Structure 1
Amino acid sequence: MIPYGRQQISSDDVAAVVAALQSDWLTQGPAIERFEQALAARCQARHAVAVCNATAALHLACLALDLGPVDSVWTSPNTFVASANCARYCGAKVDFVDIDPATWNLDVDKLEAKLVEAKRAGHLPRALVAVAFSGQSCDMARIAALAKVYGFAVIEDASHAVGATYQGRPVGCGDFADMTVFSFHPVKIITTGEGGAILTNRTDLAQRLQRLRSHGITRDPAQMQGNSHGPWYYQQRELGFNYRITDLQTALGYSQLQRLDDFLARRRALAARYDQLLAGLPLQLPTRQAGAESAWHLYVVRLQLDRIGQTHRNVFEALRAGGIGVNVHYIPVHLQPYYAALGFQPGDFPEAERYYAEAISLPMYAGLTDAQQDDVVVQLRAAVRP
């Protein structure tokens, strides 16, 4: 079975983890800060705060904005549930903005129209989680401009987009978002096993994120109330969580970061090759947004079912039966039973629902060989033949 995604671990990665195991620190040690500094430098951001996974990163980003039950957070329905759940963890309300039929990212025209109506009704969002689906940024400049007009914070969920660029700048640089979240799950661009990070240019947010990932505790006398009792002293300033990442994970992440350019080059070559090999088939291929260079976490095609004469499920199962580990990203979040119980229903976000009925994620990872990709294409051609 050719999987839709997988990690690529080198002997250098293994050596890095072994070195961490043999060091004095397994957690809360210097490997974490080294990884954070390298990641921030790569993304041209002031601060990076590494945590145990990207879901924790999204949760902490919402907590750092003091979101609560009186607040509303908007996001895309075409994403993993964590992009919405992070607001619910804080008690905030969630709403969605339908997707663009070409890029499959949040549709900024629909966002603007929804903001106009929300202002009229007095229900503007406190924050927007803008998802860089498949590794390609949303139109972040327009989103940032709308944020200034309507007064909401921007969290860029760039879980798919480590190494991507927008308007010639690295995703995560903070030009158009208050905070950017990355994921280092094994199927992502680089991996720490499990892991995530929040990047920001605001020192106040970075300090709070660092506290919140470790029980709300600080050892910095400058952040304490009153005087320190001595070198052993710490204070819990607020209710935080144990969302820490380990030295073992960040040692792996630092090693992987050294090969990020190689990973990106291979993914982009595979995407270009898919474009050529799939041309002329009854498929909608991914659209490149002007000014955005994708990291290509996913390569998604949409089946033109009226031309194929088969169902979405039939094509999917034929590919799986042929040894191609395709997947579907994503079931629209508002259709999940939890969100249906909050009042959402089919038809609320029709473009995301149309997309879901047609989308298939093809294998895409740096270790995918040309021969394996050829096999994917052969099987796909057979599956969509009318």
Structure 2
Amino acid sequence: MIPYGRQEITEADIEAVATVLRSDFLTQGPTVPAFEHEVSLIANARHAVAVNSATSALHIACEALGLGPGDWLWTTPITFAASANCGLYCGAKVDFVDIDPRTYNMSPVALEARLVEASKRGVLPKAVVPVHLCGQPCDMAAIHALSRKYGFRIIEDASHAIGGRYQGDPIGNGRYSDITVFSFHPVKIVTTGEGGVAVTNDDALAQRMRLTRSHGITREPAEMSKAPDGPWYYEQIALGFNYRMTDIHAALGVSQMHRLDAYVARRHELARRYDALLSDLPVVTPWQMPGTYSGLHLYVVRLGETGNDGASRRRVFEQLRAAGIGVNLHYIPVHLHPYYRAMGFAPGDFPEAERYYREAISLPMYATLTEADQDRVIAALADAMRS
């Protein structure tokens, strides 16, 4: 089976983790700050706050922005559920904005139309979470301009996009958002095993996220209600969580980050080769928005003429799986999950997202994918489409 994505673990990675295992600190030691430093350099951001997953990073980002009951968070339907769930964790309400048919990201045109209507009804969002699907950056300048007009905060869900660039700047630099979140799950571009990082240029937001990731407890005298009773003293000053990343995971991340640029470059080589090999097949290949450089976490093709039930896509998908090609689907629209249907969302609410869902297939994409394996993927796809 050729998987749709997978990690590469080198001897250097193993030795980095083993060094931590031999050390005095398995958690709350020096390696997590070292990893945060690496991420902040890559993103060109002042602060990086490492946690145990990107879901946790989204949660503490929402909490830091003060999202709570009575507030609204808007995101895209084509994403993993965590991009929406993070608002619910804070007691906020969640809504969605339809996608652009070329980038598959949140449509700035659809966002503006929804904001105009929401402004009339007095229900503007407090936070908007654009998702850089597949590593393709959203049109952040347009979304940011709308935030200035309508007063919402922005969390970039860049779980797919570390190593990418927008308008020449690294994703995560904070020019067009308050906080950016990265994922380091094993199928992502680089991995910590499990883990996430929130980056920001705002000192207060960074301080709040660091507090929230570790029970809301501080040992900093300047943050305490009184002078410390002694060197053992600490205070819980907020309701937080145990979202800390271990030094074991961070050690793997530090080692992997040294190969980030090479991994992304290799993904671009594979994408160009896919584009050429697929040129004779009736599929829509990914479109790259000018002025962007994708992290290329995923390579998604769309099959035409699938019908309203997506039956053709399902047949091709199943035939590829039977041929040992581990294709996948990213994603089932969040508003169609039963949990969100119970909130009142229904089919037809976001037509472009639902059309995408009926047609999309994620082909294998990872840095160690060989050209021979890629040829096998294309041959199997061609056979499936002919039959």
Report the TM-score when normalising by structure 1: 0.98
What residue is the counterpart of 2:321 in the other structure? 320
Deviation at 1:42, TM superposition (A): 1.4
The answer to whether structure 1 residue 343 and structure 2 residue 310 are counterparts is no
Deviation at 1:302, TM superposition (A): 0.3
What residue is the counterpart of 1:372 in the other structure? 373
Structure 1 residue ranges without an equivalent (≥5): none
Secondary structure of residue in 2 paired with 1:60 = helix
Q: In structure 1, what residue type is equivalent to 2:362?
A: S
What residue is the counterpart of 1:125 in the other structure? 125
What residue is the counterpart of 1:88 in the other structure? 88
Q: 1:118 to 1:134 in 2, by over 3 A?
A: same
- Residue by residue over 1:161-208, the C-alpha shift from the partner in whole angstroms, topping out at 9 and shown as x without a partner, is 010100000001111110000000000010000000000000101011
CA distance in 2, matches of 1:229, 1:140: 48
Conserved 8 A contact 2:333-2:354: yes
Conserved 8 A contact 1:218-1:234: yes
Deviation at 1:232, TM superposition (A): 1.3
The answer to whether structure 1 residue 46 and structure 2 residue 18 are counterparts is no
The answer to whether structure 1 residue 101 and structure 2 residue 101 are counterparts is yes
CA distance in 2, matches of 1:175, 1:66: 21
Q: In structure 2, what residue type is equivalent to 1:160?
A: H
Q: 1:56 to 1:310 in 2, by over 3 A?
A: closer
Deviates more, 1:373-382 or 1:218-227: 218-227
- Residue by residue over 1:6-39, the C-alpha shift from the partner in whole angstroms, topping out at 9 and shown as x without a partner, is 0001110000000010111000100000110111
Conserved 8 A contact 2:306-2:313: no
Conserved 8 A contact 2:215-2:241: yes
CA distance in 2, matches of 1:280, 1:82: 37
CA distance in 2, matches of 1:368, 1:306: 28
Secondary structure of residue in 2 paired with 1:357 = helix
What residue is the counterpart of 2:2 in the other structure? 2
- Residue by residue over 1:84-106, the C-alpha shift from the partner in whole angstroms, topping out at 9 and shown as x without a partner, is 00000111000000000111000
What residue is the counterpart of 1:352 in the other structure? 353
Deviation at 1:306, TM superposition (A): 5.7
Q: Name the % identity.
A: 62
What residue is the counterpart of 2:208 in the other structure? 208
What residue is the counterpart of 1:20 in the other structure? 20
What residue is the counterpart of 2:187 in the other structure? 187
Conserved 8 A contact 2:163-2:171: yes
CA distance in 1, matches of 2:216, 2:241: 7
What residue is the counterpart of 1:302 in the other structure? 302
What residue is the counterpart of 2:115 in the other structure? 115
- Residue by residue over 1:183-237, the C-alpha shift from the partner in whole angstroms, topping out at 9 and shown as x without a partner, is 0000001000000000000010101100100000111111112212222111111
Structure 2 residue ranges without an equivalent (≥5): none
What residue is the counterpart of 1:172 in the other structure? 172
Q: Which runs of 4+ in 1 moved over 6 A?
A: none
What residue is the counterpart of 1:333 in the other structure? 334
CA distance in 2, matches of 1:110, 1:227: 52
User: Number of aligned pairs?
Assistant: 385
Secondary structure of residue in 2 paired with 1:311 = helix
Deviation at 1:305, TM superposition (A): 2.6
Conserved 8 A contact 2:306-2:312: no
Secondary structure of residue in 2 paired with 1:360 = strand
Report the TM-score when normalising by structure 2: 0.98
Instruction: State the superposition RMSD in angstroms.
Output: 1.1
- Residue by residue over 1:254-300, the C-alpha shift from the partner in whole angstroms, topping out at 9 and shown as x without a partner, is 00000111111111100111001001211011110111110100000
Conserved 8 A contact 1:305-1:312: no
Conserved 8 A contact 2:16-2:255: yes
- Residue by residue over 1:110-147, the C-alpha shift from the partner in whole angstroms, topping out at 9 and shown as x without a partner, is 00111111111111000001100000110001111111
Secondary structure of residue in 1 paired with 2:187 = coil
Secondary structure of residue in 2 paired with 1:266 = helix
Secondary structure of residue in 2 paired with 1:49 = strand
